[in-house]
Structure 1
Amino acid sequence: MNTRITLAAVALSAAATTLVPAPSLAAAEPSTPLVAEPIVIGHRGASGYRPEHTLAAYKLAIQQGADYIEPDLVSTRDGVLVARHENEISGTTDVADHPEFADRRTTKLIDGRPVTGWFTEDFTYRELKTLHAKERLPQVRPDNTAYDGEFKVPTLDQVLELAVRKGVGVYPETKHPSYFDSIGLSLEEPLVAALQAHDLDDADDEVVIQSFEVGNLKELDEVVDVDLAQLVDASGGPADLPGTTYASMVSAEGLAEVATYADGLGANKFLVLRRGTTEPTTLVDDAHAEGLVVHIWTLRRENQFMDGRFKVGTDPDAPGDMAAETRAFLDAGVDGMFADHPDVAVAARDAWLG
């Protein structure tokens, strides 16, 4: 099943709207999804079962029924887009075990925050190919460490080839786009070129580009016809708009502005169902009123990532009731869900659909 996220009949105003502080996220009656069949996005692949952002993780997500797979995109020094959660790769590769790259360990300011480690932009793709992926959360997912060293870092082209071959959608995220712009490695042009090369750049193609920043989504809105999703977190704000908060962006006025350049909202799940509550906030209804679909992130099986009412037992790494959590968000009207364990989300979604 592959479901488009846009509503073709919705007319959106092109006029900019000033962002204002958000009202409190008050409880609302359960909403209805804008789409007939809410989608499941394999978050970095089936990252609950395989090291994230590997072809093995993406393949397993597809086998488990995910409608889309999600590559986070960063750039190498020679401009090759690769799938990594961050441009700092000490937690997701064996780079620290390569003495030939020891002198590349450094500290950089990324989105205003100092980060120490090894960075993709300091490696050519040929050099990056000598590294192997490893589990990012070994204490939480020790079974995944059995695959450490087996898989390489995939390129965007490899992920797109897999998606086309298997007939699933692709949901790429541009990571730190303004930072990469600042070092002369813009992400948008090679992303659009790759989509064009794989004939995935039309409005009816099952591609959604997402970003926590705003400027690059507005730029992409001018040059590509695929769907765009504005990511919003429960705190902070876009790195490229100092002074703007995500709270202001999910106000009624803020959502109207988002709808001038994006088709959907990728929301921290606790913006829809607050911790310790059973009633949804008004966010889904407010977004739907602007023609924006709502995809929440991230559903994970382990207790520590869930609200208390879905936990089972006291072990933070033990499985909670992810199926119940999935149903709760579907009842709240969301149009899609990012999941580390796509099989659980797909089964719960299909049962919910009846």
Structure 2
Amino acid sequence: MKKTLALGLLALACVAPAQASAVQLNIGHRGASGTRPEHTFAAYDRALALGADYIEQDLQVTSDGVLVVLHDGTLNRTVRGPAENCTGAVDTKTLAQIKTCSAGEWFGAEWAGEKVPTLEEVFQRYGKTVNYYIETKTPDPEDDMETKLLALLDKYDLRNASINDWQVLIQSFSADSLKRVHAMDARLPLVFLGTLNAASIQSVREYGVGIGPSFGGVTQANVAAAHAACLNVHPYTVNTDADIARMLSYGVDGMFTNFPERLEAQLGAAAAPGLTGPKTAAADLRRCRGEQKDVPAPVGGTVGATLSLTLGTPGTFGAFTPGVEKVYTASTKATVVSTAGDASLTVADPGKLTNGTFTLASPLGVAITPNAWTGPVSNAESVIAFTQPIAANEPLRTGTYAKTLTFTLSTTNP
């Protein structure tokens, strides 16, 4: 049974979500690879029909420099056909050779007609009607995989959609590959595939928007730590109903699965429709990162016997200066006492600061760091950081802008 305590606070600031995203994304791992041959149009079409928010592409480079979609660096596991064309390393074969092979026969005779697609063919088939999650697989700098990828994003008008709405996420186990992409365009959303811990969080925060760990190493605590740093968490590869439920309970922002229908069933009405999930996740992360300016201040309030929350004096930005573009900051502290097995501190969505019938143009922001605990705590402190952007051309009405926020300390393990 969930226990909660809510307190109100009058403050000149707004909420950042307790998790990095308000949505949980359904990522079709190599398409619907549990029921179709991986990385084929049959697998991608099926994943989309089952409700996947993303279809994943692993990239390899042919000997003539073409990006093809294949997980392994060799053809042997998932490709069938003439041995001289269809076995051995991908980068020793031309595209013409690979196109003589079947990419589906290994999975079942009914899929024998499926071919290894190029990334360009994937973009040609789906255009801007789907979201892509693309991995640079063990890239050799001499292959220039990253430059080729960005060129195709530009050719199919996907770069801005990636930057603004995360229509394309780029992931890799190679931090060097991601850093090469970051150097070419620092606005692109990048996800590091690797262990989720304090070191990776600190490193990835410099160039990426998220971390994709193996789901077996994911805990509620390290998800909370990633969220506190405004990073998304997308574990792989989560296939059983029990594991999917556990990852959802930890508050991950999405997960890779071979069975998108299983995740979609558990998300139910909370599943994001159409292309909206990645767009919402992108907006949430930007909002979170705009709220990461901490300014010390107190806060005050109380909770019941097993949960106690103390909030201090409401934050204030002071005077807004008209005609000057600026992000105003303030902060306060929360003190938490909990005898529960877990606890989380959240704040309701406040909208925008108001002054009578007038509102500021930009949403308010607040980040709570830390915002979750995995065991009993006594007088644990969290910093609540407020931000308010003001544009240079924004009209400001004389008087006080304010908003009342509601903070909630809750537990599911009393």
Same-fold status (TM-score > 0.5)? yes
The 3-state SS of whatever aligns with 1:299 is coil
Other-structure match for 2:34 = 48
One-letter code aligned to 1:201? R
Other-structure match for 1:327 = 245
Other-structure match for 2:188 = 226
Q: Is the 8 A contact 1:84 1:153 kept in 2?
A: yes
| CA-CA distance at 1:161 after TM superposition | 2.7
| CA-CA distance at 1:266 after TM superposition | 0.6
Question: Residues 161 and 353 (structure 1 numbering): CA distance in 2 closer, same or farther, change over 3 Å?
Answer: closer
Decide which of 147, 152, 161 is 2:110's aligned counterpart: 147
Other-structure match for 1:267 = 213
One-letter code aligned to 2:124? E
| CA-CA distance at 1:251 after TM superposition | 3.1
Decide which of 233, 240, 256 is 2:202's aligned counterpart: 256
154-163 vs 263-272, which deviates more?
A: 154-163
Decide which of 134, 137, 152 is 1:172's aligned counterpart: 134
Other-structure match for 1:290 = 229
Q: Is the 8 A contact 2:234 2:253 kept in 1?
A: yes
One-letter code aligned to 1:337? M
The 3-state SS of whatever aligns with 2:213 is strand
Other-structure match for 1:187 = 145
| CA-CA distance at 1:323 after TM superposition | 2.9
| CA-CA distance at 1:91 after TM superposition | 0.4
| CA-CA distance at 1:55 after TM superposition | 1.0
Deviations 1:243-278 (A, max 9, x none): xxx4xxx33243112100111111100111xxxxxx
Counterpart check, 1:338 vs 2:338: no
Q: Is the 8 A contact 2:85 2:101 kept in 1?
A: no
| CA-CA distance at 1:286 after TM superposition | 1.1
Task: Give the whole-Å Cα distance in 2 for the aligned partners of 1:254 and 1:186.
Answer: 25
Other-structure match for 1:131 = 101
**How do 1:23-62 residues align onto structure 2 when only pairs under 5 Å count?**
33-62=19-48
One-letter code aligned to 1:208? L
Unpaired stretches in structure 2, ≥5 consecutive residues = 1-13, 273-414
Larger radius of gyration between Structure 1 and Structure 2: 2
Q: Is the 8 A contact 1:132 1:150 kept in 2?
A: yes
Other-structure match for 2:124 = 161
Other-structure match for 1:82 = 68
Question: Residues 100 and 119 (structure 1 numbering): CA distance in 2 closer, same or farther, change over 3 Å?
Answer: closer
Task: Give the whole-Å Cα distance in 2 for the aligned partners of 1:48 and 1:92.
Answer: 14
RMSD: 2.5
Task: Give the whole-Å Cα distance in 2 for the aligned partners of 1:192 and 1:285.
Answer: 32
Counterpart check, 1:204 vs 2:154: no
Q: Is the 8 A contact 2:153 2:159 kept in 1?
A: yes
Higher helix share: 1
Deviations 1:193-219 (A, max 9, x none): 011111111211411000001111111
Question: Residues 230 and 135 (structure 1 numbering): CA distance in 2 closer, same or farther, change over 3 Å?
Answer: farther
Unpaired stretches in structure 1, ≥5 consecutive residues = 1-8, 11-30, 103-116, 137-143, 233-245, 273-279, 301-321
Q: Is the 8 A contact 1:160 1:170 kept in 2?
A: no
Question: Residues 353 and 59 (structure 1 numbering): CA distance in 2 closer, same or farther, change over 3 Å?
Answer: closer
Q: Is the 8 A contact 1:75 1:87 kept in 2?
A: no
Q: Is the 8 A contact 1:271 1:281 kept in 2?
A: no
- TM-score, normalised by the number of residues in structure 2: 0.58
The 3-state SS of whatever aligns with 2:127 is helix
Task: Give the whole-Å Cα distance in 2 for the aligned partners of 1:209 and 1:299.
Answer: 20
The 3-state SS of whatever aligns with 1:71 is strand
The 3-state SS of whatever aligns with 1:82 is strand
Other-structure match for 1:14 = none
Task: Give the whole-Å Cα distance in 2 for the aligned partners of 1:100 and 1:41.
Answer: 34
One-letter code aligned to 1:170? Y
Task: Give the whole-Å Cα distance in 1 for the aligned partners of 2:84 and 2:72.
Answer: 22
One-letter code aligned to 2:170? I
One-letter code aligned to 2:138? H
Q: Is the 8 A contact 1:327 1:349 kept in 2?
A: no
Q: Is the 8 A contact 2:136 2:170 kept in 1?
A: yes
| CA-CA distance at 1:51 after TM superposition | 0.4
Question: Residues 351 and 328 (structure 1 numbering): CA distance in 2 closer, same or farther, change over 3 Å?
Answer: farther
- TM-score, normalised by the number of residues in structure 1: 0.67
Task: Give the whole-Å Cα distance in 2 for the aligned partners of 1:338 and 1:152.
Answer: 23
